[in-house]
Amino acid sequence: MRGTTVLPGTPCTAPAEGVLPMHRLEVPMPNALPFAIGSFDTIGPMSRAAFPHRHTFYEIVHVTAGTGTHVLDLARWELRPPHLCVIVPGQVHHWQDAEGLDGTVVLFTEDFLLDHPGDREVLRGFAGRPWLTLDRPDHERTGRLLADLQEEYRRGADGFESVLRALLHILVVRAARLPAPGAATAQAPPGTTRPGAVAEAFARLLARTDPDLWSVRACAAHIGVTTGYLTEAVKAATGRTPGQLVREARTHEAKRLLAHTELTVRQVAARVGMDDPAYFCRFFRRETGLSPGTFRRGGEAHGDGIHHDHRIESIARPEPAA
């Protein structure tokens, strides 16, 4: 993801009223690595942000202490450390009533995965299982690995970039081996695919949450293939059609906006590429079984384990980036 790092001091503000803030990874100089690691304190106050926001980068958090709740998309995860959490670009999250939060935070963009491009697919898979509770051996093993990452990052000795990438690869692979929690309520984001260049490109387009790209025809044109070829490639890679994944992408984004913003139904419809609010309501009911209003009120039928009345009053003026 080019252009996802910014210099320190660049404000991270919501682009318009009711729009979720998009946070970008800050770097100390133009050619610095798109990677950072540290404690919640050294990374800065944004690592504990209490308002819903998105990232353009990946975040892996090893939570070693604290109480409260981590809200990620449409799921709530109670803090009972130790935990390992993986947040992928585009997901909406915040920490709620968090006290004594401590641990290690790792931030990086896709540019940092050059040595291990296959990790992109593995990381996208965490969107459906982002919150992992560690047993003692896994907790200690993770802590040692993160300590090595921090030491390499701090020292900056010759060849440290390749060592950082190798250690991060080990962290991703080991995290993927961990069992998913038995009672998870998180939902896998749309666009997760298996290997295949076209299918992977299609997944990346959907993850951008760009309404202009939320049609099979638009995605095919952007990738440079025919709609027929895109359909064959995506179905071979995922067992599903591009149309199904596009509908999931729109529905998932609509849920995020309804749950985490004060946008009207008309505005949410526009943000997911539908000019007609009535059509959007029919679409949303068909995909979820609920009207947008019922979903926003936390209708008992949605079964996603979160009440949707926890929205903050305003996210137009988030605290400045660290």
CATH classification at residue 162: 2.60.120.280
Asked if residue 124 is part of any domain, the answer here is yes
Domain closes at, from 144, 177, 210: 177
Structure confidence at residue 110 as a pLDDT band (50, 70, 90): confident
Q: What is the pLDDT of residue 163?
A: 95
In this structure, the answer to whether residues 42 and 135 fall within a common structural domain is yes
Span 258-313, pLDDT tens digits: 988 888 999 999 988 888 999 999 999 999 899 999 988 875 443 444 333 322 22
Q: What is the pLDDT of residue 18?
A: 58
**Number of domains, the chain:** 2
Asked if residue 247 is part of any domain, the answer here is yes
In this structure, the answer to whether residues 89 and 202 fall within a common structural domain is no
89 pLDDT higher than 70: yes
Q: What is the pLDDT of residue 224?
A: 75
User: 11 preceded by cis ω (within 30°)?
Assistant: no
Write the CB contacts of 221 (distance below 8 Å, at least 6 apart in sequence).
Answer: none
155 pLDDT higher than 70: yes
Strand ranges inside the chain, DSSP E: 5-6, 22-23, 25-26, 35-39, 54-55, 58-72, 75-78, 83-87, 93-108, 131-133
In this structure, the answer to whether residues 10 and 74 fall within a common structural domain is yes
10 pLDDT higher than 60: no
Query: What is the domain-level CATH number for residue 230?
Result: 1.10.10.60
Structure confidence at residue 26 as a pLDDT band (50, 70, 90): low
Asked if residue 315 is part of any domain, the answer here is no
Tell me which residue range forms the domain holding 277: 197-296
In this structure, the answer to whether residues 211 and 139 fall within a common structural domain is no
In this structure, the answer to whether residues 201 and 172 fall within a common structural domain is no
183 pLDDT higher than 60: no
In this structure, the answer to whether residues 18 and 136 fall within a common structural domain is yes
Domain closes at, from 115, 143, 177: 177
In this structure, the answer to whether residues 54 and 202 fall within a common structural domain is no
Span 114-154, pLDDT tens digits: 888 889 888 988 877 888 889 999 999 999 999 999 999 99
Indicate whether this model's pTM tops 0.85. no
Asked if residue 321 is part of any domain, the answer here is no
In this structure, the answer to whether residues 155 and 244 fall within a common structural domain is no
Burial, 144: exposed, middle or buried (Cβ in 10 Å; 0-12, 13-18, 19+)? exposed
Asked if residue 88 is part of any domain, the answer here is yes
130 against 212, higher pLDDT:
130
In this structure, the answer to whether residues 95 and 229 fall within a common structural domain is no
C-alpha span between 39 and 33 (Å, rounded): 18
Asked if residue 129 is part of any domain, the answer here is yes
Asked if residue 138 is part of any domain, the answer here is yes
In this structure, the answer to whether residues 140 and 44 fall within a common structural domain is yes
In this structure, the answer to whether residues 131 and 226 fall within a common structural domain is no
In this structure, the answer to whether residues 160 and 214 fall within a common structural domain is no
Asked if residue 318 is part of any domain, the answer here is no
